Amino acid sequence: MTMTKLQLITKGFIKDNPTFVLVLGMCPTLATTTSAINGMSMGLATLFVLVLSNMAISAVAPYVPDKVHIPAYIVIIATFVTVLQFLMQAYTPAMYETLGLFIPLIVVNCIVLGRAEAFANKHTVIESACDGLGIGLGFTLSLTLLGMVREILGTGSVFGWKFITGDGILAFVMAPGAFLCLGYLMVLFNKLAKKNK
């Protein structure tokens, strides 16, 4: 059962959606989705690391003995994360500040190491890139979605564009709203996904 490249890329949207279906990487999902733009940035940052580390790992995998693959992968992933940190600090310092702790934490995001172990390990560079792209896009999409919902409900705006006067329901931009939105979106998502099947 091999998937086409397109399938690899799109499976993360619904079938293997890392947020709603696999329930992975919950911390950044909850913490950084105070607005659509923040969620999207976090998603893209993860996507960046995911694609590059997937590619690098699939490239070196044949030469890394089994016994040390975990430390080797950790080193590789951490490298890309640090590179990302440098780039963000240099070119998008404001966003770097906003996302804060959660950028270095991409290292321990289960999705990244998980994909390395489960997929990149055994596939070609191209396939791994597609896989990383797919899962990363799925992650980005769901973070953006969650960020949008929270932003709309919490402040009455999307992507910073305000469409109501006055405040929104503030709880949604705070911790309780993060959990609440994710919980209900997860139900909704799974219902829709089931219907589509």
Partner 1 sequence: MEYFLIIISAIFVNNIVLSQFLGICPFLGVSNKLSTATGMSAAVCFVITLSTIVTYLLNKYLLDPYGLTFLQTIAFILVIAALVQTVEIVLKKTSPSLYQALGIYLPLITTNCAVLGVAITVVTKQFTFGDPAHMLNLGEAAVYAFATAVGYGVAMIIFSGIREHLALNDVPKPFRGIPIALVTASILAMAFMGFSGLV
Partner 2 sequence: MNRLIVSPSPHLHAEVSVRSLMLDVVIALLPAVVVSVIFYGLRELSVLAVSVISCVLLEYLITKYLLKKQNTTGDLSAVVTGILLALNLPATTPWWIVFIGSVVAIGVAKMTFGGIGQNVFNPALTGRVFLLISFPKYLTRWEIPTGLFGKGMGTDAVSGATPLTAIKEGLMQGSSVHDIMTAHGYSYGQMLFSNIGGSAGEACAIAIIIGFVYLLLRKVIKPYITLSILGTVAIVSCLFWLGDPSRFTDPLFNLLTGGLLLGSTFMATDYATSPMSIKGGLIFGIGIGFITLMIRYFGSYPEGVSFAILIMNSLVPLLNRWFKQKKYGRA
Partner 3 sequence: MNEILHKGRIVEMDRDFTTVEIISASACASCHAAGLCGVSEYTKKAIKVPSALSTNHHVGDEVDVALKQSMGNKAVWIAYAIPLMILMALILILSSLHLEELYVGLFSIAGVAVYYFCIFLFRKVLAKEYIFYIKN
Residues making contact with ligand FES (CB under 6 A): 25-27, 109-110
Q: Give rounded-to-5 percent helix, strand, coil for the chain.
A: 75, 0, 20
In the complex with partner 3, which residue's Cβ is closer, 37 or 113?
A: 113
In the complex with ligand FES, which residue's Cβ is closer, 107 or 158?
A: 107
User: Is 117 an interacting residue with respect to partner 3 (CB under 8 A)?
Assistant: yes
**Rg for the chain (alpha carbons), in Å?**
17
Contacted by 72, from partner 1, partner 3, partner 2, none: CB < 5 to 8 Å by type: none
User: Is 170 an interacting residue with respect to partner 2 (CB under 8 A)?
Assistant: yes
The alpha carbon of 145 is separated from its chain's Cα centroid by a whole number of angstroms, namely 12
User: Is 176 an interacting residue with respect to partner 1 (CB under 8 A)?
Assistant: yes
- Give the integer Cα–Cα distance in Å for 140 and 161: 20
Q: How many residues does the chain have?
A: 197
Contacted by 53, from partner 3, partner 2, partner 1, none: CB < 5 to 8 Å by type: none
User: Is 169 an interacting residue with respect to partner 1 (CB under 8 A)?
Assistant: no
User: Is 180 an interacting residue with respect to partner 1 (CB under 8 A)?
Assistant: yes
User: Is 27 an interacting residue with respect to partner 3 (CB under 8 A)?
Assistant: no
Q: What is the largest CA-CA distance in the chain?
A: 60
Structure tokens at 55: 């590619």
Q: Smallest distance, Å, CB 6 to partner 3?
A: 20
DSSP state of 32: S
Contacted by 16, from partner 3, ligand FES, partner 1, none: CB < 5 to 8 Å by type: partner 3
Structure tokens at 90: 């240099």
Closest CA to 25 of 5, 11, 7, 39: 39
Structure tokens at 140: 């980005």
Q: How many CA atoms lie within 13 A of 132 on its CB side?
A: 29
Segment contacting partner 2 by CB under 8 A, of 105-113, 130-138, 140-148, 168-176: 168-176
Query: Which residues, numbered 96-115, are part of the site for partner 1 (CB under 8 A)?
Result: 101, 104-105, 107-110, 113
Contacting residues toward partner 2, per CB under 8 A = 167, 169-172, 174, 176, 180
